[in-house]
């Protein structure tokens, strides 16, 4: 069973927190001013962090592109090698592998 007293006390704590925050907003001049003030504080505090993370995302995307090109080149090389081996032996790679297992 669910303890309703626990939920009531959680709701009371949340209500107190919201009331405190609402009083804070009112004390600094209302919602619009608070958003402007908090927005400028967040921008100053997090601008360096955000720019570093955006730079990391760009570098990671460049690495993904580079790795995809390497994978494509490797696949092309492997396909070429398997075609060359088939041409030399006159059999397919699958047949060669099957013969090796036997």
Angle at 69 between CA 77 and CA 74, to 5 degrees: 20
Q: What is the residue extent of each domain of the chain?
A: 4-101
Tokens of 46: 């997090």
Is-above-0.75 flag for pTM? no
In angstroms, the first-to-last Cα distance of the chain is 65
Q: How many CA atoms lie within 13 A of 47 on its CB side?
A: 5
Residue 69 above 80 pLDDT?
Answer: yes
**What are residue 47's phi and psi, to 5 degrees?**
-60, -40
Could you read off the pLDDT of 10-32 as tens digits, one per residue?
788 888 888 887 777 777 666 66
Q: What's the average model confidence in pLDDT over 58-69?
A: 89
């Amino acid at each position: 069973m669910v303890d309703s007293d626990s939920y009531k006390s959680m709701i009371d704590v949340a209500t107190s927190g919201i009331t405190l925050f609402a009083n804070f907003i009112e004390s600094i001049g209302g919602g619009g001013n608070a958003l402007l003030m908090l927005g400028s504080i967040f921008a100053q505090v997090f601008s360096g962090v955000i720019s570093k993370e955006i730079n990391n995302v760009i570098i990671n995307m460049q690495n993904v592109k580079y790795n995809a090109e390497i994978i494509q080149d490797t696949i092309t090389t492997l396909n070429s090698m398997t075609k060359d081996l088939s041409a030399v032996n006159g059999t397919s790679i699958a047949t060669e592998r099957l013969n090796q297992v036997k």
